Structure formats: structure tokens, C-alpha cells
Amino acid sequence: MIHEQAIIEPGAVIGKNVTIGPWSYIGKDVVIGDNCEIHSHVVIKGPTRLGAGNRIFQFASIGEDCQDLKYAGEPTELVIGDNNVFRESCTIHRGTIQDNSLTQIGSNNLFMAYTHVAHDCVVGNNCIMANNASIAGHVHVGDYAILGGMSGVHQFCHIGAHSFVAANALVLKDVPPYVMASGHGAAPFGLNVEGLKRRGFEKSDILAIRRAYKEVYRKGLTVEEALLEVDKLAEATAAVKDFADFIRNSGRGIIR
């Protein structure tokens, strides 16, 4: 299952039923879980830990030193969950000591060709980054978020769960859960209702989220004023509470 022309450094740990193609390089501080599929011409450096069932296509660079000029070779880490797909020429970098020394990716994500995940990012589960989407350092991406092709996210921004960032968008502030964002810089363009339906949200929950969205974005209220009304809706709907908590805890402020 490991091609004779693959380079596996002493110290690398390879799980069961792992395929590694020719001319791929696996560094000494790399742990690869069971049932992973590494195509040809892949570079994985570490410290990096991959879970089970990940697929990495040709020319991807996983676990390389970050591009932050402050990085001076300190030991930092990349941790990846299970069943992710990294398509051609993805670049995923390890963390820095200025944060938690860790870049972390969950499970069941799709990273299309030429996507970039910078140092200290945290990506949840079931996310999609379309071709050439890039997230800068310290960005957090919630579960089921979708980033369209050629989109970019400024460092330290948070992308909420179930949100949708359109192609070519430039995100300069936080995108709350469920919100669709588009433009340069990105502005809100309604709710990702179709995505919520596909993921089994109840009609009553979607209606409550719509009402919360209107309080924040359609009534001309300040964020503080809107949250007073959203908190009332959150008492009956957990999904709205997630929306309110995200806005309240936003460090960069939300798109408006």
C-alpha cells in the first residue's frame, strides 16, 4: 500500500490500510491514522496528526511551517480529524506560539483545489471550502460553514456555523451563524435557509432564526438593542441562542 518511491522518515507513524503514492514525503513527526489515502507528490510535515479515513490529493502541502514572519521555528502542531478530503495543491499550516501553537481541523470537511488554511485556524466539521478559498491566521470556522470559490477571510475573523460566504467575497468581520455573506468587504444577504432545511432544522426554528435576523439587520437597531430582542427569542429556541451568543462574543464585530 506504500509505494517504493515514497519517502517515509524514521519516526513517522503510519496506521493500518494506509495508501501512500510515489514521490510523496512523510516527515518524522507525522502520525497518519488508519485507512488514509495519500496520493502521489504529497508533502506532510509535522508535528502533524491525521485521524482515520482522510484523502489527500497530489501536490498538497500539509503541516508545513507557517508564513507568519514572527514564526522562528518553534514546535507547533497541526491536528486533523477523520474523513476529510484535501484536493490538489491545498496548503494547511501549523500554528504559532502567539496563539495555542495549534491549527485544528475537525472531520468530514472538503477542501477543494488550492484552498489555504493558515496558522492557528480552527475549522469545525462538515465544512466546505471551494476552489482557492483562503482563511488567514487565527480564523475560526464553525460546523457546516461553506466558503465559496476565491473567497478570503481576514485574520482573527470567526465564521459562524451553517453560514455561507459567496464566491469572491472578502470577509473583514465576523459572520454570524446561518447568515449569507457576499461582497468586498462582505455584507449580509439574508439567511442560508436552504442549507438549514437540508440539515434538518425544524420549520419553527427557521422561523425563529428569521425573526432574530430581522432584529439585527432589518430594524435599524444597534447591536446592543437588537440583542435585547433576540434574547427573548433565544429563551424558546436553542438555535437562536447560538446566534445571540456568537454576536455577543464577537471580537471583531459582525458584518452589517
Query: Which residue out of 137, 142, 148, 160 is catalytically annotated?
Result: 137
- C-alpha R_g of the chain: 20
Contact 244, 228 (CB under 8 A): no
pLDDT at 27: 98
Q: Which of 39, 93, 116, 119 is catalytic?
A: 119
Catalytic residue of the set 68, 120, 143, 174: 120
Q: Answer yes or no: 137 catalytic.
A: yes
Contacts of residue 155, Cβ cutoff 8 Å, sequence gap at least 6: 118, 136, 137, 138, 139
Tens digit of pLDDT for each residue in 156-173? 999 999 999 999 999 999
**Residue 42: per-residue pLDDT:** 98
Bridge partners of 122?
104, 140
Its pTM surpasses 0.75: yes
Respond yes or no: is residue 120 known to be catalytic. yes
| Per-residue pLDDT at 246 | 98
* Structure-block grid coordinates of residue 67: 508564513
User: Which stretches of the chain drop beneath a pLDDT of 70?
Assistant: none
Q: For 30-38, which contacts have Cβ atoms below 8 Å and span 24 or more sequence positions?
A: 30/63, 33/82, 38/6
Q: What is the Cα–Cα distance from 36 to 34, expressed in whole angstroms?
A: 6
pLDDT (0 to 100) of residue 206: 98
- Number of Cβ atoms within 10 Å of the Cβ of 52: 17
